[in-house]
Chains A and B, each alone.
Chain A
Amino acid sequence: MEALVTTLRVLLPAVYAGLTLYFARTFFRTVSQTERLKYAVPAAYLVLALHAVYIGTYTAVYHHDLVATVYELFSLLAFTLFAVYVFAELRTSRETSGTGFFVTAVSFLLQLVSSITISGETIVETRTILRDPIFNLHVTTSIFGYAALMLAAIYGSLYLLLYRAIRRNEFGAIFEHIPSLERLERYGLRATAFGFIFLTFSIALGAVLYTRIPLGVSTAQFLTDPKVLMTLLVWLLFGVTLLVRKVVHLEGRRLVLFWMSGFALTILSMTIVNWIGTSFHSFL
């Protein structure tokens, strides 16, 4: 089993890289509509299956989910990001899926960093809370939330890239293969909504955990924990994005800039928080 985990740890970045190259080939080169992404869906399912096997065997071997360290989380995030993309877009609108190249590239980078940095020592060190089902659900929903927001950020970046290409009369690969601005906005909003829902669940489950497990911290300490604060801030920002769209009828580039600045803030605060502390929360 351990040998399988090690093999998959090496194999996964390679298969993500292969898929990224396949998407790149269809993105940058002229291929026919039929030939384009002909094998994308089966290949994507294969990669997802391999990654699922990795997560399963890893959990079985080391008796905890991939949530003990940031680098384990990277792998889970790569998987979730790619799964959300495959099921939300690739499966249904394969022909316009110029976005595949960008999503798989991000998943590849996350998995590469995870595969390189996960070491034997970090994976054998586990905490009791990591075996708690509510805690695992809390982390899983949070991962799904961040993956959806990451996907929204990818769509947002593509929106801005295409917007710039159109303004500058650059009718190359970006213009040709990226879906329309309207569609990118729609996908981005959908991903933001998913992210918001998952984060809502994650926060609620976090609150349940706080009341269930004696952590030895006051409510004030709990609420001022950098990660709790950050998650609340991110949740609030994306909630406001969705609200602003409904109430002020904000659309197009302005809306995309709004949610992209939210994502930039998320990345910034995540980096700072992870820099400050090595653990998930100050009280764990």
Chain B
Amino acid sequence: MPHSLIAVSISHQRAPVEVREQLELSEAERTAVLGELRELGAEALVLSTCNRTEIYAGLNESDSLESDRLVHAVLDRKRVSRETFAPYFEHYTASSAIRQLFRVTAGIDSQILGDQQIFAQVKEAFRKSQETEASGAFLGKLAQAAFRVGKRVISETSLFEGAATVSYAAVEFARKIYDDLRFRHVLVIGAGETGELTAKHFAERHAGRITVANRSPERARELADRVRLQAPEIPIETISLAALDDVLPLADIIVSATSAPDYVLTEPALKAAMAKRTSSSPLVMIDIAVPRDIDPAVGSLSNVFLKDIDDLRTIVDRNTERRRLEVPKAEAIIEEEIERFLSGIARLEAGPTIKELRDRFEAVRKEELDRNRHKLDERSFALVEEMSRRMMNRLLHQPTVSLKEVNGADRDPDALSRIALARELFGLDKDEH
């Protein structure tokens, strides 16, 4: 293999949140780390989220860069103690580094098993690497392979199916009653973290209208602004809790996630709201608060579906268990793709490529000679045979020289690209599965 890969990772698997949050790299810091590694001659990929910070570095045979250097690049950038934080990092080399990237992309290394967001984050990390010219042909191939893993895991397994968080389960539950949210009015009570996540999930699912109610109208407005950034087309309004009674009859879905010690929605209030409703469609009520915000007696009202956090956890647990059963399938895909990637990389050596190229030309030459043999006498055939051989050699001379130069110029970032281009132009990978 002309290139090797090393990687370091700090993630929820080994480091507590107070460590991870200190090492999350901002965009500027990621750019700086990429620049630093590029200067050292490596192709690099930096992935940094709230749950993990990882650096992948593709090295040439002659490079002596060690994984500790990658750890230091992060720690020095964050100005934290090497002694304290370095032990939290895990180190990977060669195929274990490839496996780590593939596992991360497939979502099986995520805190929430089958987290689909990480796929987009890996894509973004690769885009950043390209943008800063820290990626070359090797990393390009690696990223393509990682994306292929992600896509295959999505399409061939159930790893990403079903809600795996309470806030998402709330949306999924509501969609079991109303699958088209475009015509539905969602009322989110509480502007805390859970309320925000839920409002964002409903916005992602194109809710028709969202109303945010909160004790402090200011916080409700801030939340609404953040949701608007994500989904500017969805009408979002904010109200104070005092105005709740006016909105209740209009809502199709109510999610409550406040930290109030008492019920925010009582049975009499809901009864009154139900009486004012013009539609006989069901009212979906989801109580994600602890202690509960909605009087459980509301659940016995006709045409009302009320679920609390425990009910949603039942859905989440069931989905998580199902996802867990899909992990072996995802791992099998990863192993297949590692093998495929490694054999693809091996083919990117100049020697085998030159040989394959010459074999391809020779095969074409022989085929044409055989086809025309009966049209020529022996003397003419010998002449054509000799002429075609010379012609082939002359045509292949320059590409052969050019490819041979690659071998002796490993540091050239375009080297692998040149081999890859030659393989593509002459269809040398056509039998690749």
Contact = CB atoms under 8 A, between A and B. Distances in A.
Interface string A160-188: 00100011010100011001111100000
Given A30-B325, A32-B161, A251-B281, A180 B303 contact: no
A35 interface: yes
A165 to B, nearest CB: 9
Interface residues of A, number: 26
B156 interface: yes
Contacts of A96: 179
Interface string B167-205: 000000001111110000000000000000000000000
B279 A251 contact: yes
Given A166-B176, A169-B314, A33 B161 contact: yes
A251 B280 contact: yes
Contacts of A167: 305
Contact of A250 (B158, B177, B280, B311): B280
Contacts of B178: 180-182
A35 B155 CA distance: 8
Given A30-B322, A30-B325, A167-B305, A252 B280 contact: yes
B134 interface: no
Contact of A32 (B156, B177, B282, B315): B156
B177 A166 contact: yes
B340 interface: no
A179 B158 contact: no
Contacts of B177: 166, 180-182
A35 B156 contact: yes
B318 A31 contact: no
A57 B282 CA distance: 49
B400 interface: no
Contact of A33 (B155, B311, B315): B155
A252 B282 contact: yes
Contacts of B162: 176
A30 B161 CA distance: 10
Interface in A41-88: none
A141 to B, nearest CB: 32
Interface string B266-279: 00000000000011
B158 A33 contact: yes
Contacts of A255: 280
B157 interface: yes
Given A180-B175, A182-B179, A251-B279, A32 B155 contact: yes
Given A32-B155, A166-B176, A181 B311 contact: no
Interface string B47-59: 0000000000000
Contacts of A182: 177-180, 281
A171 B314 contact: yes
Residue picked from A166, A171, A179, A181, most chain B C-beta under 10 Å: A171
A253 interface: yes
Nearest to A183: B179
A212 interface: no
A253 B278 contact: no
A246 interface: no
A166 B177 CA distance: 9
Contacts of B279: 249, 251
Contacts of A175: 176
A127 interface: no
A77 to B, nearest CB: 30
Interface string A245-274: 000011111110000000000000000000
A278 interface: no
Contacts of A254: 280
B278 A169 contact: no
Contacts of A176: 162
A171 to B, nearest CB: 5
Interface string A219-253: 00000000000000000000000000000011111
Contacts of B155: 32-34
Contacts of A250: 280
A31 B158 contact: yes
Nearest to A35: B156
B235 to A, nearest CB: 21
A224 to B, nearest CB: 37
A175 B312 CA distance: 13
A253 B282 contact: yes
A169 B180 CA distance: 22
A71 to B, nearest CB: 39
Nearest to A248: B280
A180 B176 contact: yes
Contacts of B158: 30-33
A18 to B, nearest CB: 24
Contacts of B175: 180
A171 B179 CA distance: 17
A175 B177 CA distance: 10
A162 B307 CA distance: 15
Given A176-B162, A254-B280, 9 more contacts: A30-B325, A31-B158, A33-B155, A171-B315, A180-B175, A181-B178, A182-B281, A252-B280, A253-B303
Interface of A: 30-35, 96, 162, 166-167, 169, 171, 175-176, 179-183, 249-255
6 contacts: A30-B326, A33-B155, A166-B176, A171-B314, A252-B280, A252-B303
Interface of B: 155-158, 161-162, 175-180, 278-282, 303, 305, 307, 311, 314-315, 318, 322, 325-326
